[in-house]
């Protein structure tokens, strides 16, 4: 889509690298089925697809083979017309390959730093997971840091490329109505949730090694939390924004077992197609890997002291969505008696930020229900992006981020000390889960998670946590 819209340099080339034996033609056939132009007219799209595929080439490469990287360098120079051009190297490979590949690329001169303004640059994009804990991340960073400068390194978390997540800065700091409310005096608790209806079919080998906390909570949800809870950055440049995120992450105490619930989905006898986690292909029959986690974090800053941040993430759940719900405190009003008649669990005022699948912003308020008498109900003042901007394309998160790599904009990429701070929050409890062999709470596939969530919520002043989790 970026290529079809002319967002990339005119002479751009795309080269796929992997161990599978393929020629250029076979590689282009594999790519063709996934190419889309979306709102571009069909005839123009066909031309763009053809032009894009002509710019795609393939090289077979063993990631730790110096000879193979030398051959790749020669192929790239030929495509570049003999003079080295600017390059983006995207390591979409398992983490254990990062180090060997980066070392060999550096040894063969492939990772040129472009130290002067006239030299071409090389930028390295690293896909999560960034280690398994603080120690493994430090080792990964030691290896990458030895061969690649920090300003060359783009640690990608695709949630930061989502339209609504990018909009958090604008929502907070361009709307003066929110800033006075964005604090402990008015917010009772914040719930950041990521739920998926599907299980882990097809990814069990990877997932069982990492679990839901490492897979999405320590990265995706913590990135959202940092944007919600950080103080205003000094400027809108990349370093100032990331400075503000690091500052708030460093104010979060390490998570403990008392503040955590982990679960694992099981099969449902009444559903013919139901399959529990332990029945997924590639999962050990005695696996204790959590497919669900709920954690309560406290942000120890003046703005947020006493406000619990509830993070929930899981697979095999009843909903497929990611959202933020900021719950405002119930203050005494003239209408307390009428508000008391609202259904149990009804939130009177909350800000809802829908991340996916439907991008939206909504403010829930109390309103009089039409008719005789003073009967109250709740309604939402909402902004649904697809309805508000019907002719405006909402770009894919990876599309946004990879364009930023080309432009050199690091605002939406994770700095090394961000990851250090995030791992410091989760590493102790991850080690306890494994050393103590904690058994996850069971929950039925298609449900809203383990019932233990309510007990966790009550301990932290979040009533009806299961209801809150269902939205």
Annotated catalytic residues are 220
| Residue owning tokens 């990492």 | 210
Distance separating alpha carbons of residues 308 and 275, to the nearest angstrom: 34
Q: Which DSSP string do the residues of 83-138 spell out, in sequence order?
A: S---EEEEE-S-HHHHHHHHHHHHHTT-S----STTSPPEEEEEESP--SSHHHHH
> Taking the C-alpha atoms of 88, 101, 78 and 23 in order, what is their torsion angle to the nearest 10 degrees?
-100
- CA 434 from chain center: how many Å? 24
Distance separating alpha carbons of residues 220 and 311, to the nearest angstrom: 11
What's the DSSP call for residue 278?
A: G
C-alpha closest to that of 189 among 423, 418, 351? 351
Question: What count of other Cβ atoms lies within 10 Å of the Cβ of residue 190?
Answer: 24
Distance separating alpha carbons of residues 350 and 362, to the nearest angstrom: 8
Whether the Cβ atoms of residue 413 and residue 401 lie closer than 8 Å to each other: yes
What's the DSSP call for residue 329?
A: P
Q: Which class for 19: exposed (0-12), middle (13-18), buried (19 or more C-beta within 10 A)?
A: exposed
Here the tokens at position 172 are: 């907070």
**Rounded to whole angstroms, what are the CA distances from 10 to 4, 13, 404?**
11, 9, 17
What lies within 8 Å, CB to CB, of 309 at 6+ separation is: 189, 190, 191, 192, 225, 229, 296, 297, 298, 299
Distance separating alpha carbons of residues 101 and 62, to the nearest angstrom: 9
**Rounded to whole angstroms, what are the CA distances from 170 to 178, 195, 232, 278?**
11, 25, 11, 43
What lies within 8 Å, CB to CB, of 378 at 6+ separation is: 342, 346, 347, 348, 364, 365, 366, 367
Phi, psi of 37 (to 5 degrees): -110, -15
**How many residues belong to the chain?**
471
Helix (H, G, I), strand (E, B) or coil at 81: coil
């Amino acid at each position: 889509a970026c290529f079809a819209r002319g967002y990339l340099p005119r002479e751009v080339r795309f080269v796929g690298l992997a161990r599978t034996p393929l020629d250029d033609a076979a590689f282009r056939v594999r790519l063709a089925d996934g190419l889309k132009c979306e709102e571009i007219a069909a005839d123009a799209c066909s031309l763009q697809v053809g032009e894009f595929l002509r710019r795609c080439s393939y090289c077979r490469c063993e990631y730790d083979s110096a000879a193979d990287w030398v051959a790749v360098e020669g192929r790239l120079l030929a495509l570049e017309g003999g003079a080295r051009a600017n390059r983006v190297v995207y390591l979409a490979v398992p983490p254990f390959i990062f180090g060997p590949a980066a070392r060999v690329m550096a040894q063969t001169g492939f990772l040129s730093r472009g130290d002067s303004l006239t030299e071409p640059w090389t930028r390295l994009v690293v896909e999560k997971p960034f280690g398994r804990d603080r120690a493994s991340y430090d080792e990964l960073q030691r290896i990458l840091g030895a061969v690649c400068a920090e300003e060359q390194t783009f640690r990608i978390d695709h949630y930061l490329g989502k339209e609504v997540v990018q909009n958090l800065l604008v929502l907070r700091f361009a709307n003066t109505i929110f800033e006075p409310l964005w604090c402990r005096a008015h917010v009772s608790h914040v719930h950041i949730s990521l739920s998926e209806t599907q299980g882990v079919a097809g990814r069990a080998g990877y997932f069982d090694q990492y679990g839901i906390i490492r897979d999405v909570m320590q990265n995706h949800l913590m990135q959202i939390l940092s944007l919600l809870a950080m103080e205003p950055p000094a400027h809108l440049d990349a370093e100032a924004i990331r400075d503000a995120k690091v500052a708030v992450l460093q104010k979060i105490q390490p998570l403990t077992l008392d503040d955590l619930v982990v679960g694992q989905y099981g099969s449902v006898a009444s559903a013919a197609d139901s399959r529990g986690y332990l029945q997924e292909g590639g999962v050990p029959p005695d696996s204790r890997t959590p497919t669900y986690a709920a954690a309560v974090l406290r942000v120890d800053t003046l703005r947020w002291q006493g406000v619990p941040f509830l993070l929930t993430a899981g697979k095999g759940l009843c909903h497929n969505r990611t959202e933020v719900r900021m719950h405002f405190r119930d203050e005494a009003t003239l209408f307390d008696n009428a508000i008391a008649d609202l259904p149990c669990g009804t939130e009177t005022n909350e800000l809802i930020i829908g991340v996916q699948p439907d991008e939206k912003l909504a403010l829930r308020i109390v309103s009089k229900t039409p008719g005789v008498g003073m009967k109250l109900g709740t309604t939402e003042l909402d902004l649904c992006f697809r309805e508000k901007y019907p002719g405006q394309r909402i770009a894919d998160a990876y599309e946004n981020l990879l364009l930023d790599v080309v432009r050199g904009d690091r605002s939406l990429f994770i700095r090394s000390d961000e990851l250090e701070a995030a791992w410091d929050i989760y590493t102790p409890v991850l080690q306890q889960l494994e050393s103590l062999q904690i058994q996850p709470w069971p929950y039925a596939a298609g449900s809203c998670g383990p019932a233990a969530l309510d007990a966790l919520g009550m301990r932290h002043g979040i009533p009806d946590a299961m209801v809150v989790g269902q939205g």
